[in-house]
Structure 1
Amino acid sequence: MAADTQGRGPKRANGARETELLDLLQKAGTALTPGEVAERLGGELTYSSVVTILTRMHTKGLLTRTPRGRAYAYAPVTDDAGFAARRMRTVLEERPDREAVLARFADTLSDTDADLLRHLLGPEQDTDR
């Protein structure tokens, strides 16, 4: 990757930066201000770039924010598994034939995953009972 014109490291797509910041916030275990995020990135992004990305992520519903001093502190709304589940639900909701999508998904599950899904859906779905 080429360095950006400001010498702050390689350019990345916005989605990659969001993923990077989300990972950083999840690992932090506590809400962080943009200044704290920028510091943990080691100067890789400017403060204003961090604010822009965090604000965009908050608008998308990926982060919560609470006032802390003159800034906001940001935290993920869920963990990694929760975000994966949200993506799966979004894909399902975008398709007109939910039954077909779910049936195709179920057909691709391993026996172990199918058993786990039956267990998670409840005892009435568990064929071992």
Structure 2
Amino acid sequence: MDVVWAGDRAYLVREVRERLSYNRALAYTTVMTVMNILYGKGVLCREKHGRAWRYWPSESREDHDARLMAEVLRSGGNEHITMMRFVERVSDEERETLRNAVLHANGPRLAAS
């Protein structure tokens, strides 16, 4: 996913394989299989390009991460307690970022309070 998120266009499997950096070369079919699985899960979109497919992410990395965070929050027990425990564990800087995000999401009505 790092490869397709880093780019600003759709990629062929071959192009993704060339950009992956591992200790050894990955088989084309391995990369193709993973990309097909990600397409099936809705993480990637694709369109036919000759005999191959071009793939691109269905959402930005940030939207993907935010969705996963919301899923994790809702998958546990008490969401309120889970959120409180999370806030207790983040740094002051992260807490300030979170505070600003809440103010932004709630709009001017909360900021004026």
Q: TM-score range by the shorter chain?
A: 0.7 to 0.9
Structure number with greater CO (CA < 8 Å, separation at least 6) is: 2
What's the CA shift string for 1:41-65, capped at 9, x where partnerless?
4882222111101011122322111
Q: Residue 31 of structure 1 contacts residue 73 of structure 1 at CA under 8 Å; is this kept in 2? A: yes
Partner of 1:34: 13
Pick which of 110-119 and 93-102 moved more: 110-119
What is the total number of aligned residue pairs between the two structures? 107
- 1:80 corresponds to which letter in structure 2? R
Partner of 1:54: 35
Q: Secondary structure at the match of 1:61?
A: coil
Separation of aligned partners in 1, 2:30 and 2:4:
16
Partner of 2:70: 89
Identity rate, percent: 30
Q: Secondary structure at the match of 1:30?
A: coil
Say if 1:102 and 1:125 are closer, same or farther in 2 by CA, change over 3 A: farther
Q: What displacement does 1:125 show?
A: 4.2
Say if 1:113 and 1:125 are closer, same or farther in 2 by CA, change over 3 A: farther
Partner of 1:6: none
What's the CA shift string for 1:69-89, capped at 9, x where partnerless?
222211122333233222211
Separation of aligned partners in 2, 1:112 and 1:59:
38
TM-score (norm 2): 0.73
Separation of aligned partners in 2, 1:60 and 1:50:
15
Stretches of structure 1 lacking an aligned partner (at least 5 in a row): 1-21
- 1:34 corresponds to which letter in structure 2? V
Say if 1:93 and 1:61 are closer, same or farther in 2 by CA, change over 3 A: farther
Partner of 1:74: 55
What's the CA shift string for 1:96-127, capped at 9, x where partnerless?
31111111112223333333322222344448
Separation of aligned partners in 2, 1:112 and 1:41:
33
- Cα RMSD of the aligned pairs, angstroms, is 2.5
